[in-house]
Amino acid sequence: MSLDADVETRIGTLALQMRLDVEEGEVVALLGPNGAGKTTLLRAIAGLAPVEKCHVELDGMVLEDTPTGRYVPTEYRPIGFVFQDYLLFPHLSVLDNVAFGLRARGHRDAARHAQEWVDRIGLTTRAAARPSELSGGEKQRVALARALATEPRVLLLDEPLAALDATTRVAVRRELRSHLASFRGVRLLVTHDPLEAAALADRLVVMEDGVHVQSGSPSEVTEHPRSRYVADLVGVNLLRGDADHGVVRLHGGGIVAAAGAETGDVFAVIHPRAVSLHRSKPEGSPRNVWRGNAHGVELYGDRARIRVDAQVPIVAEVTPAALAEMKLAEGGEVWVSFKATDVAVYPA
C-alpha cells in the first residue's frame, strides 16, 4: 500500500507545490516553520481543502484527480484524521466520540467496537466523561482512537502533541509512538518540533514556503541540513559556496578554509562549539580568523550562544564563565576563529 499525493494550490501569498509518496508501514513527518503549507497539504489529502490542481492516489485507487474531475468525498476516503485541537464533540461522551465515525459509516456494532478502543487507550473508567472533563493527554488519546476505530488505510495527524504542556507531551509522545507502531497503514504527521519528528518518524520531509526542501531519515536531515531553517533547528552554522581544494568561496562573499573541500557547489557546516571568540586577534594555527561585532546573546543551560556580525556572520557557543570574563554580553568588537578540520563539507 502506498499514498501518492501531488498538490498545487494558492492560499493568500502561499503557493503550495508538493509531491509526496508514503509507503505502508512508514511514518513520515512533514517538518517546517509555521505557514509552510504542512496542514494545507494534509487537509488536501483528506479532501478538506479546496485545491487548484490535485492528484491523490491510495494503492492504485484514485481519491482525487482535478484534470478528470474525479473526487471522492472526505467521508468516503479510508482516512483517519487527528486534528491539532482534536475537534472532539463537546456534547458526546468519550465512548460516543470514538463511536461517531463508526456510526456514520453504518457499523453494525459501533458501541462494542468503540468500547474496545476506549479500553485499549486506557480510558475505560472515563468512557462516560465529556471532553471538558478530560486532560489534554486524554483528549489526544480519544482523538486518536476515533481516527483509528474506523480501520483507515491512512492516518493523518496534524501537530498531535502541540496542545499539550511540556511534561505531558513526553509521556503522550511515548504512547503515540506505540500506537503508530501498531498501525500498519500509511502514517503521515505534521510537526514543527524537530524532537517530535525525530522521535516518531522514519523519514522527514522538510517544507518551506510551500515547497519541498529536503527529505531523509532524521539523522540524514540533521547531519546534513540543506536550508537555514533546518540548520537553525539543529543549532549549527550553515554556509554555501564553491569548493576549491581546501577552501570554500562563499556565495555571499568571504572565504572559509575547509579541510574536506574539493570542488563544486557545497554546503559547509560549523558547529558553534567549534567557534572560539577573542577580544584581540588570536595567535596560533586556526586558518579561519576574522573580526566582527558580538551581539544577541542567548543562554542554553550551561552554554551561551553569541551571534557575531562580520563579513561571514556566525554563531559561537561559549561557557557562561567565558561570557562573563570577556564581557561578551556587552557586545563590541571580537575576533572569531575555528579550524579548517572543524568544517564539514558536502555537496549542495
Residue 168: what pLDDT? 82
E strand or H helix at 111: helix 110-120
Residue 25's pLDDT band (cuts 50, 70, 90):
confident
Residue type, 102: L
Instruction: Compute how many other C-beta atoms are within 10 angstroms of the C-beta atom of residue 137.
Output: 19
- Among 87, 84, 63, which residue's Cα sits nearest to residue 6? 63
d(CA 162, CA 145): 18
Which ranges of 183-217 does DSSP label H, i.e. alpha helix? Answer: 194-200
What's the rounded Cα separation, in Å, for the pair 99 and 96?
5
pLDDT, tens only, 67-80: 999 999 998 999 99
Is the CA virtual torsion 150, 154, 159, 165 positive or negative? positive
Q: How many C-beta atoms surround the C-beta of residue 53 within 10 A? A: 12
Q: Report residue 319 as a C-alpha cell.
A: 561557557
Q: At 157, is the secondary structure helix, strand, or coil?
A: strand
Q: Which helix (H) or strand (E) holds 94?
A: helix 94-104
Give the burial class of 194: count Cβ atoms within 10 A of its Cβ; 0-12 exposed, 13-18 middle, 19 or more buried. Answer: buried
SS3 292: strand
> To the nearest whole number, what is the mean pLDDT of the chain?
92
> In the CATH scheme, what is the code of domain 235-347?
2.40.50.100
Vertex 27: Cα angle to 24 and 31 (nearest 5)? 135
Contacts of 298 (CB under 8 A, 6+ apart): 304, 305
CATH, domain 2-230, list 3.40.50.720, 3.40.50.300, 1.25.40.10, 3.20.20.70: 3.40.50.300
pLDDT at 284: 76
Backbone angles phi, psi at 139, to 5 degrees: -60, -40
Q: What pLDDT, on the 0 to 100 scale, is given for residue 169?
A: 84
Q: In the chain, what are the domain boundaries?
A: 2-230, 235-347
**Separation CA 58–CA 26 (nearest Å):** 14
Question: What distance in Å separates the CA atoms of residue 299 and residue 18, rounded to the nearest whole number?
Answer: 37
Question: Which residues does 36 contact at the CB level (< 8 Å), separation at least 6?
Answer: 207, 208, 209, 210
Residue with cell 482523538: 143
Q: Mind listing the pLDDT tens digit for each residue in 247-290? A: 999 998 899 999 989 999 999 999 999 999 999 998 877 789 99
Q: Copy the grid coordinates of residue 194.
A: 524537530
pLDDT digits (tens, 9 = 90+) for 87-146: 999 999 999 999 998 998 888 899 999 999 999 999 999 999 999 999 988 998 999 999
